[in-house]
Amino acid sequence: MKNKHILLFIFFLIFFTKPAETDVSSYFKDNTTDTKISIKNINKIELNTNTIRSLSQKIHEHYEKLFKQKMFNGCVLVAINNKIIYENAFGYSDIKRKKCLNTNSVFQLASVSKIFTSIAILKLYEKKLLNIHDEVQKYIPEFPYSFIKIQHLLRHTSGLPNYLHWMPDIGRQDTILSHHSVLNLLVQKKPHPEFKAGRKYKYCNTNYALLACLVEKISGMNYSDFLKKEIFIPCNMPNTNTIYFVDVFDENTASSLEYKSRNIPFYAGDFILGDKSIYSNIHDLFNFSQCLLNNKILNDTMMHIMTSGVNTKKYGILYGCGIRIKDVQDSSKTIWFHNGWWHGYRTSFQIRPKDKVTVIVLSNQIYKTTYYTYPVFQTIDEILYQENSTEPNRNDEKHLYPTLDDE
């Protein structure tokens, strides 16, 4: 009987005792999901001249078809590892003047700008100048909501209403608003939150305008200068800056076009930073993607936090910190991305970290084809990995690659 008890005790030790592990996800405990993607130790892909030619030709056929159907106007760049395999410009920077786009054309990034705001906050966290688990009030005492934390802003779980829907002067053309205007209005009006912070996800531009205020409060620099010093210069992005420091009327800056090619005038809301209004081109964004993929802008821990997301309840999409995660069962197909949509600009920045594929599409027309990158990934998988796949129907496609436009 004694021996039987000893055997049972040994059985218990073997099967129910595990060594302690360090879990980085403990940094984010607000219903996050770990995508379990490592951007280290990736098998190098051999790209010979014939392979690049085949990839480039098929990608070109896709975008040329869209352009001829008058469903795309913009610039495209596709890269694998640090090798650009395709780049091109289609259409016009200014249709009325018949001014053509080129691969150096600069676009308003719309909500793709949120990626940079998130990185700015995470860099301050990395330097221990703030803690994302702290309440916003700790750093901005006048902020009227004591229960909202920085991490709630980062992942759109704050419950705050979207300033785009309730800010009275946002559409005026005779004034300029800023991210501080958003904060000041919250302080004055104290609009009731739509839900308790951390309870659920709802995409909201207010969150990122407030994060821009935090960047300035903590760093002692204005938002534009901080991004330039900490991100744009280190990542070799000479053509990238906010609306305040970009010549929006320069020949190389693409004009925004609505339906029927109508130019859209600037108004007060264009000058609110944090959630939008960074300008860039495909080459600068390619350089940025290389820094992101090779941990040259954030360390491992911060990258893990950035790409661990909350469930948005839409097509398997998670939202991390300023980045969406298309999480699929085959982890090699997981994509980090953000789309943008503002005043005629449609933009998409997409990375497949497992094989370091970067897809950048910038458009100055409102058509959603900017987000339709499935054929690009399909081409890469067929040619590089000999994966046979068929064109998905619209219902299946949204479960494979990002096509969302709720910006």
319 occurs within a structural domain: yes
**Residue 86 vs residues 63, 79, 83, 169, 344: alpha-carbon distances, Å:** 11, 7, 9, 42, 25
222 occurs within a structural domain: yes
Mean pLDDT of 347-366: 96
158 is in which domain, residue-wise? 31-86+104-397
- CA-CA-CA-CA torsion sign (180, 181, 182, 187): positive
DSSP state for residue 149 in the 8-state scheme: B
5 occurs within a structural domain: no
183 occurs within a structural domain: yes
Q: Per-residue confidence at 294, pLDDT binned at 50, 70, 90?
A: very high
- CA-CA-CA-CA torsion sign (222, 28, 36, 195): negative
The number of distinct structural domains making up the chain is 1
pLDDT at 301: 96
Strand partners, 87: 77
277 occurs within a structural domain: yes
Mean pLDDT of 282-296: 97
Q: Per-residue confidence at 388, pLDDT binned at 50, 70, 90?
A: low
pLDDT at 264: 79
CA distance 327 to 201: 17
Kind and range of the H or E element at 189?
helix 179-189
180 occurs within a structural domain: yes
Q: Give 69-124 pLDDT, tens digit per residue.
A: 999 999 999 999 999 999 999 999 987 788 899 999 999 999 999 999 999 999 99
CA distance 188 to 191: 9
pLDDT at 313: 83
DSSP state for residue 229 in the 8-state scheme: I
CA distance 69 to 66: 5
pLDDT at 45: 63
pLDDT at 305: 97
Q: Give 344-356 pLDDT, tens digit per residue.
A: 899 999 999 999 9
265 occurs within a structural domain: yes
Give SS3 for 87. strand
pLDDT at 51: 93
CA distance 404 to 407: 8
Q: Which CATH number does the domain housing residue 350 bear?
A: 3.40.710.10
Hey, what amino acid is at 335? I
225 occurs within a structural domain: yes
pLDDT at 31: 54
